[in-house]
Structure 1
Amino acid sequence: MTKAERALETRERILTAACEVIADIGFENVSMRKVAEHAGVSKALLHYHFDTREKLFAEAMTHSFAQTGADAEAADDGAPAAVVLARILRSMLPSDADLRQDWKLWQELWVRAQRDPAARHLAVDLYDQLHTWVGGAVEQGIASGEFTDCDVAALSTLVLALCDGLGIRLMLDDPRVDLATTRATIWRAIAPSLGVPPVFPEV
Structure 2
Amino acid sequence: MARPTTAQRGREVRRRLLDTACELIAEHGWTAVSTRMLADRAGVTPGLVHYHFSSVQALLSEAATGAMRDYLAQTPDVFEQAATAQQGLDTLLGELDRHTGLDPLSLLFTEAYLASTRDGALRAEISVLLAEFRDRVSGWLAGHGVAAPDATAAVLAAAVDGLLLHRALNPDLRGCEIAPVLGRILAPAGGAHTDGTEGTGDRP
TM-score class normalised by the smaller sequence: 0.7 to 0.9
1:171 paired residue among 168, 172, 177: 168
Matched, 1:135 2:130: no
The amino acid across from 2:41 in the alignment is H
2:155 paired residue among 140, 158, 182: 158
The amino acid across from 1:27 in the alignment is W
Measured in 1, the distance between the counterparts of 2:12 and 2:125 equals 24
Bigger-Rg structure (1/2)? 2
Matched, 1:192 2:195: no
> Which ranges in structure 1 are unaligned for 5 or more consecutive residues?
199-203
| 1:177 counterpart SS class | coil
Question: Given that residues 145 and 188 in structure 2 are in contact (C-alpha distance below 8 angstroms), is that contact kept between their aligned partners in structure 1?
Answer: yes
> More displaced, 15-24 or 68-77?
68-77
Measured in 2, the distance between the counterparts of 1:9 and 1:73 equals 30
Question: Given that residues 81 and 138 in structure 1 are in contact (C-alpha distance below 8 angstroms), is that contact kept between their aligned partners in structure 2?
Answer: no
Matched, 1:24 2:20: no
The amino acid across from 1:120 in the alignment is R
Question: Given that residues 94 and 103 in structure 1 are in contact (C-alpha distance below 8 angstroms), is that contact kept between their aligned partners in structure 2?
Answer: no
Matched, 1:182 2:178: yes
| 2:44 counterpart SS class | coil
Aligned to 2:69: 66
Higher helix share: 1
Percent sequence identity is: 28
Measured in 1, the distance between the counterparts of 2:105 and 2:51 equals 25
The amino acid across from 1:26 in the alignment is G
- Structure 1 position 4, deviation (Å): 3.7
1:6-51, CA deviations, whole angstroms, 9 ceiling, x for partnerless residues? 4333322211110110111101111011122222222222222112
Measured in 2, the distance between the counterparts of 1:122 and 1:189 equals 31
Measured in 1, the distance between the counterparts of 2:45 and 2:80 equals 41
Distance of aligned partners of 1:89 and 1:7 in 2 relative to their CA distance in 1, 3 Å threshold: farther
1:132-185, CA deviations, whole angstroms, 9 ceiling, x for partnerless residues? 23224334xx1xxxx12532211111101211222211122x155234323444
1:62-86, CA deviations, whole angstroms, 9 ceiling, x for partnerless residues? 1111221355478899664656665
| 1:135 counterpart SS class | helix
Measured in 2, the distance between the counterparts of 1:99 and 1:27 equals 15
Measured in 1, the distance between the counterparts of 2:7 and 2:89 equals 37
Aligned to 1:116: 119
